[in-house]
Chains A and B, each alone.
Chain A
Amino acid sequence: MLEQIPFISIIVFTPLVTAVLLMLLPPERKTAIRVISAIAAFITMALSICLFFAYNQAQGGYQFTERTDWIPQLGISYFVGVDGLNLPLVVLTGIVAFTGVLVSWGIEDRPREFFTFFFILVTGVFGVFVSLDMFLLFFFYELAVFPMYLLIGIWGWPVTREYAAMKLTLYLLVGSVFSLVGALAMYFSYTTPQGTHTFDMLELARAGFSPDFQRLWFLPTFLGFAVLAGLWPFHNWSPDGHVAAPTAVSMLHAGVLMKLGAYSALRVGVILLPEGAKTFLPFIVMLAVVNVVYGAFIAMIQRDFKYVIGFSSVSHMGLVSLGFATMNHYGWVGAGLQMFSHGIMTALFFAVVGMVYDRAHIRDIPQLGGMVRKMPWAAVAFIIGGLVSMGMPGFSGFVSELPIFIGAWRAGSIAAWYPVIAVVAALFGIPVTAAYIMRVVGRVFFGELPPQFAHIPGITVQDKIALAILVFFLIGLGVYPRIMADLIGVGVRPFLAALGGA
């Protein structure tokens, strides 16, 4: 009975239905709009968490799959399902979307349109994560891009929003075209036993493309998606985009959308073209370490509070790429955990930045100070996020970064430079991260409260709930990592087998 209910479709389309509903409400009923949004987002979050616990780990593989022919002439079907790889990301999306709605409570300028576009974006993100059909994946991917343009363009930071929104959109579209070309190459070069072509990724994974073919198409496919994951040197859109975006969109953007890129690069690039991955990932790991180190150093010298977080996000995404590039169990489980942990952590950071900025109206670090007296909740949450970011034991950052470094160390059997890279990333990444986090904490939250901020209000109840939820997951995962690590381990095993790793 329970299997009959299309859980995944409900999760994917609840936001879209909400968006349509919101459109039909009169724009001046702002409270109703916010309450409906919060309820819908809560339902999706709750369902995604239910799905997480309902997944049968002993059985593994794809579960809750739904499949309907969509355009059979082209071998396109509506084919969705979850496995250990995408399930944590579905949960992540649910959490960030709900907390994003909560911290957007104060938006006074056309909240109806804001939440409408926000929910369309959320549907796109969910859709990409659960798609098992390559066409469907691109469909949702493109669906996610355009509302982002409007969200940043309309509600973003007035100084850079137009520039950042267009830059981001064009970067992502160009990236997706490269991936699309790779995807079409796969589509057309594999003929099913029935003599047709298919976009079914499960079937394409078994297609047995020739090694030369895989090496030829791996780079465009992988790098096209890696643009969205912020891989150096294609990361340029991301700090600008993060900073220009309104708070909830920054959260979703840095927290979830960058995972969209990493996940798609893995799902379409690495899993379908393992030979290509084996050839090129040892080189891509070098880009990943540049991400980690360069991102951290640049974050260190920023004056703008939000840019610090933007570059910190780029730096931490480098660890995800590094983990995937190891092609072994530790690295992949670590990368999987890191995607979740980074998503929640970055969402938390951006939420706090937004709260400070909404009240102080500046983000210049030297001019801020003493915020702990005005918003102790935000300060505590930010410090916890900072501890996660530094990889402190007991928080989710530690349990995800450690396996990545172990994995990189063990990947020495693939290429001699992996251990060196692990050392470089750890040696420069972690202390520098600690340095910029402590600098921000010290300058923004402690010290003298500048007199002009003496009368700013504290944060709202909604803000507190959002922060509490995010902190809960960061600590929860840090204390009991097995709850997710085992699942990811089950998820990555079949793919690692295809890569010849263990």
Chain B
Amino acid sequence: MQFTTFDPNSLLAILPEILLLGLIVLVLGLDLALPESRRRNLGLLAGLGQLAILAAMLAFSRPNGEGISLWGGMFRHDLFTLIFRGMFLVAGAATSLISLDVRGINRQGEYYAILLAAVLGMNLMAASNDLIMLYVALETTSIALYLLAGYLRDDVRSSEAGLKYFLFGSVSSAVMLYGLSLLYGMTGKTGLREVAAALTNVQDTLPIIGAAVMIAVGFGFKVAAAPFHFWTPDVYEGAPPPVTAFISVASKAAGFSVLLRFFTAVFPVIQPQWGPLMAAIAAVTMTIGNVLAIPQRNIKRMLAYSSIAQAGYALIGFVAGGEFGLAATTYYLLMYVLTNIAAFTVVILFANLTGSEEIYDYAGLSRRSPYLAFAMLLALLSLGGIPPLAGFFAKVYVFAAAINTGLVWLAVVGVVNAIIGLYYYLTVAKVMYVHRSEEEHIPVPVPRVYAVVLALLVVGIIVLAVGANPWLDWATQAARPFFVAGGG
């Protein structure tokens, strides 16, 4: 690792992170300066700030061609990084904006600062190209998320969620750290490509498999794949709703971003071993998520199990591998980020008015607030994989990727799961549209910011679907360097 002559492009590459840091400082400073009555604007600042950073990234911080490694090989600046950073910024911006009217967190500068720190960590996770960088980025993200999950100190469930998340998370990241140190021990390198190159000379594959399994534990926790999913329902239920939304999408996507890059780059030598293992994990994850979602009565728990199932579908593309497989997973995550936040936005609005998270309290929502119910319907159908929404294409892509590589059984498991999944999504739709309630004449108030966010997300879901092709092209292009000799 040596630093060559300083290149100003290195600074441009991490422009979004620099700006994020600036935004954190700004939010914290204003938190002190503003009176409490005006602190609602902090959320607006954080949300719009992230969108501005997204715009700045797209304008000034684009990678060239197959991308380059910067900062002594720590930071990989390529299209893949760009796409995932975009996802995190969108998720962070949407989360900030939908936190605006949630009691307990909406007037807290620290809340937004921690959220921004988590986004910062995720950005670095997607870009990290080195074991040390990876671990540091991962912990930056995780610690921020533990804090967010337990943010409502007076709420028992939130505190429990924070503690549970912390315990599960720290154990799994310790296991992963051990796996990373094994890799370092075997190769003496920390750069992903150097490690991969050195591993090809290692004769005995058993320790490599051991390291891979341990690292998979860490990522399995992040993406909530079975059998590391036990924390999910309790944390999702207990955490403040916007945080749940954020954890369910951004943290999962971040886990996937590293999983895709790391396993493709470092472990091609033992692909025959971890391939079937991951396929089994994908199948079990989908099935557990969908089956356990059916009996849920709390919408956040239902969405928690649904998110486990969604991770299973996304894993299919990863297992299938290749440019197309990774592109399918990336597209799946794009869809999932938009769709799940849209669903949670409705959950938050409903909880703000009624304080309820029970599915059966959604009765008559289509009469109370037709647009809100329709947005929820579209989100659920997208998660269920019904055309013309993005979820349909996402499922088609991952299943096609599986069949393409001969994993027909996995595609069949996926399709069966999709039908099971549809059952509980439709149940919520039924409650909203068919069931009547005594309160159905009371509309659910939708503040303007929420309306705009929700409308944008729904439009996004449809745009992603109808114009599926350019997005898939983009994702394919992003995955391409992974499979070029010397790339990744």
Which chain A residues have a beta carbon within 8 Å of chain B's beta carbons? 23, 27, 69-74, 110, 112-113, 135, 139-140, 142-143, 145-146, 149-150, 153-154, 161-162, 165-166, 169-170, 173-174, 177, 180-181, 184, 188
Instruction: Assess the A71–B468 pair: CB atoms within 8 A.
Output: yes
Q: How far is the CA of A169 from the CA of B468 in the complex (A)?
A: 26
Query: Given that A27-B370, A139-B387, A181-B415 are contacting pairs, would A73 and B472 also be in contact in the complex, using a CB cutoff of 8 Å?
Result: yes
Residues of chain A lying within 8 A (CB to CB) of residue B411: 184
Residues of chain B lying within 8 A (CB to CB) of residue A143: 386-388
Q: How far is the CA of A72 from the CA of B472 in the complex (A)?
A: 10
Instruction: Assess the A142–B387 pair: CB atoms within 8 A.
Output: yes
Residues of chain B lying within 8 A (CB to CB) of residue A139: 387-388, 392
Q: How far is the CA of A184 from the CA of B429 in the complex (A)?
A: 30
Instruction: Assess the B400–A161 pair: CB atoms within 8 A.
Output: no
Q: How far is the CA of A74 from the CA of B468 in the complex (A)?
A: 12
In-complex Cβ contact of B426 among A135, A149, A154, A184 (8 A): A149
Instruction: Assess the A154–B433 pair: CB atoms within 8 A.
Output: yes
Residues of chain B lying within 8 A (CB to CB) of residue A145: 386
Q: Which of B363-409 contact A (CB under 8 A)?
A: 366-367, 370, 374, 381, 386-388, 392-393, 396-397, 400, 403-404
Instruction: Assess the B381–A146 pair: CB atoms within 8 A.
Output: yes
Q: How far is the CA of A154 from the CA of B426 in the complex (A)?
A: 13
12 additional contacts (CB under 8 A) given A146-B426, A150-B429: A70-B469, A71-B393, A73-B469, A73-B473, A74-B400, A113-B366, A113-B370, A145-B386, A153-B430, A153-B434, A170-B419, A184-B403
Query: Shortest Cβ distance from A95 into chain B, in angstroms?
Result: 25
Residues of chain A lying within 8 A (CB to CB) of residue B412: 181
Q: Which residue of B lies closest to A71 (CB)?
A: B469
Q: How far is the CA of A73 from the CA of B469 in the complex (A)?
A: 8
Which 7 A/B pairs are nearest by Cβ-Cβ distance? A153-B434, A139-B387, A71-B469, A143-B387, A142-B387, A146-B386, A154-B433
Instruction: Assess the A150–B370 pair: CB atoms within 8 A.
Output: no
In-complex Cβ contact of A73 among B324, B387, B426 (8 A): B324
Instruction: Assess the B430–A180 pair: CB atoms within 8 A.
Output: no
Q: How far is the CA of A69 from the CA of B470 in the complex (A)?
A: 12
Assign chain B's interface to a size class. 20 to 34
Instruction: Assess the A162–B430 pair: CB atoms within 8 A.
Output: yes
Instruction: Assess the A73–B476 pair: CB atoms within 8 A.
Output: yes
Q: Is B422 an interface residue (CB 8 A)?
A: yes
Q: Is B135 an interface residue (CB 8 A)?
A: no
Query: Shortest Cβ distance from A162 into chain B, in angstroms?
Result: 6
Instruction: Assess the A170–B423 pair: CB atoms within 8 A.
Output: yes
Q: How far is the CA of A74 from the CA of B430 in the complex (A)?
A: 34
Which chain B residues have a beta carbon within 8 Å of chain A's beta carbons? 324, 366-367, 370, 374, 381, 386-388, 392-393, 396-397, 400, 403-404, 411-412, 415-416, 419, 422-423, 426, 429-430, 433-434, 468-469, 472-473, 476
Q: How far is the CA of A49 from the CA of B224 in the complex (A)?
A: 54
- SS class, residues of chain A in contact with chain B: helix
Residues of chain A lying within 8 A (CB to CB) of residue B472: 71, 73
In-complex Cβ contact of A162 among B370, B416, B434, B469 (8 A): B434
Instruction: Assess the B469–A174 pair: CB atoms within 8 A.
Output: no
Q: How far is the CA of A72 from the CA of B388 in the complex (A)?
A: 18
Q: How far is the CA of A433 from the CA of B458 in the complex (A)?
A: 50
Residues of chain B lying within 8 A (CB to CB) of residue A69: 469
Residues of chain B lying within 8 A (CB to CB) of residue A113: 366, 370
Instruction: Assess the B422–A173 pair: CB atoms within 8 A.
Output: yes
26 contacts between A and B (CB under 8 A): A23-B374, A70-B468, A71-B469, A73-B324, A74-B400, A110-B366, A113-B370, A135-B396, A139-B387, A139-B392, A140-B387, A142-B392, A145-B386, A150-B429, A150-B434, A162-B434, A165-B434, A169-B426, A170-B419, A174-B419, A177-B415, A177-B416, A177-B419, A180-B415, A184-B403, A188-B403
Q: How far is the CA of A74 from the CA of B393 in the complex (A)?
A: 11
Instruction: Assess the A154–B434 pair: CB atoms within 8 A.
Output: yes
Residues of chain A lying within 8 A (CB to CB) of residue B422: 169, 173
Query: Shortest Cβ distance from B90 into chain A, in angstroms?
Result: 23
Q: Which residue of B lies closest to A116 (CB)?
A: B374
Residues of chain A lying within 8 A (CB to CB) of residue B370: 27, 112-113
Residues of chain B lying within 8 A (CB to CB) of residue A166: 426, 430
Q: Which residue of A lies closest to B427 (CB)?
A: A166
Residues of chain B lying within 8 A (CB to CB) of residue A161: 434
Residues of chain A lying within 8 A (CB to CB) of residue B381: 146
Q: How far is the CA of A165 from the CA of B400 in the complex (A)?
A: 30
Query: Shortest Cβ distance from B420 into chain A, in angstroms?
Result: 10
Q: How far is the CA of A69 from the CA of B400 in the complex (A)?
A: 18
Residues of chain B lying within 8 A (CB to CB) of residue A135: 396
Instruction: Assess the A142–B386 pair: CB atoms within 8 A.
Output: yes
Interface centre among A135, A149, A162 (most CB of B within 10 A): A149
Query: Shortest Cβ distance from B408 into chain A, in angstroms?
Result: 9
Q: How far is the CA of A310 from the CA of B429 in the complex (A)?
A: 27
Residues of chain A lying within 8 A (CB to CB) of residue B386: 142-143, 145-146
Query: Shortest Cβ distance from A8 into chain B, in angstroms?
Result: 17
Query: Shortest Cβ distance from B39 into chain A, in angstroms?
Result: 36
Instruction: Assess the A153–B469 pair: CB atoms within 8 A.
Output: no
Q: How far is the CA of A140 from the CA of B388 in the complex (A)?
A: 8
Query: Shortest Cβ distance from A312 into chain B, in angstroms?
Result: 28
Query: Shortest Cβ distance from B359 into chain A, in angstroms?
Result: 15
Q: How far is the CA of A41 from the CA of B472 in the complex (A)?
A: 36
Residues of chain B lying within 8 A (CB to CB) of residue A153: 430, 433-434
Q: How far is the CA of A452 from the CA of B452 in the complex (A)?
A: 54
Query: Shortest Cβ distance from B166 into chain A, in angstroms?
Result: 41
Q: How far is the CA of A140 from the CA of B374 in the complex (A)?
A: 20
Q: How far is the CA of A139 from the CA of B415 in the complex (A)?
A: 15
Residues of chain A lying within 8 A (CB to CB) of residue B415: 177, 180-181
Query: Shortest Cβ distance from B406 into chain A, in angstroms?
Result: 10
Q: Which residue of A lies closest to B418 (CB)?
A: A177
In-complex Cβ contact of B419 among A110, A154, A173, A184 (8 A): A173
Q: How far is the CA of A73 from the CA of B471 in the complex (A)?
A: 12
Query: Shortest Cβ distance from A232 into chain B, in angstroms?
Result: 23
Residues of chain B lying within 8 A (CB to CB) of residue A149: 426, 429-430
Q: Which residue of B lies closest to A109 (CB)?
A: B367
Q: How far is the CA of A92 from the CA of B324 in the complex (A)?
A: 41
Q: Which residue of B lies closest to A180 (CB)?
A: B415
Q: How far is the CA of A170 from the CA of B393 in the complex (A)?
A: 20
Q: How far is the CA of A162 from the CA of B363 in the complex (A)?
A: 14
Instruction: Assess the B433–A150 pair: CB atoms within 8 A.
Output: yes
Q: Which residue of B lies closest to A161 (CB)?
A: B434
Residues of chain A lying within 8 A (CB to CB) of residue B416: 177
Query: Shortest Cβ distance from B384 into chain A, in angstroms?
Result: 9
Q: How far is the CA of A143 from the CA of B466 in the complex (A)?
A: 13
Query: Shortest Cβ distance from A121 into chain B, in angstroms?
Result: 13
Q: Which residue of A lies closest to B374 (CB)?
A: A23
Query: Shortest Cβ distance from B375 into chain A, in angstroms?
Result: 11
Q: Which residue of A lies closest to B466 (CB)?
A: A70
Q: How far is the CA of A373 from the CA of B289 in the complex (A)?
A: 59
Q: How far is the CA of A360 from the CA of B204 in the complex (A)?
A: 82
Q: How far is the CA of A162 from the CA of B433 in the complex (A)?
A: 11
Q: How far is the CA of A173 from the CA of B381 in the complex (A)?
A: 14
Residues of chain B lying within 8 A (CB to CB) of residue A169: 422, 426
Query: Shortest Cβ distance from A422 into chain B, in angstroms?
Result: 38
Q: How far is the CA of A153 from the CA of B426 in the complex (A)?
A: 11
Q: How far is the CA of A27 from the CA of B367 in the complex (A)?
A: 10
Q: Which residue of B lies closest to A138 (CB)?
A: B387
Q: Which residue of B lies closest to A72 (CB)?
A: B469
Residues of chain B lying within 8 A (CB to CB) of residue A165: 430, 434
Q: Which residue of A lies closest to B323 (CB)?
A: A73
Q: Which residue of B lies closest to A112 (CB)?
A: B370
Q: Which residue of A lies closest to B373 (CB)?
A: A113
Query: Shortest Cβ distance from A18 into chain B, in angstroms?
Result: 16
Q: Which residue of A lies closest to B473 (CB)?
A: A73
Q: How far is the CA of A165 from the CA of B387 in the complex (A)?
A: 19
Q: How far is the CA of A180 from the CA of B423 in the complex (A)?
A: 19
Query: Shortest Cβ distance from A138 into chain B, in angstroms?
Result: 8
Q: How far is the CA of A177 from the CA of B370 in the complex (A)?
A: 31
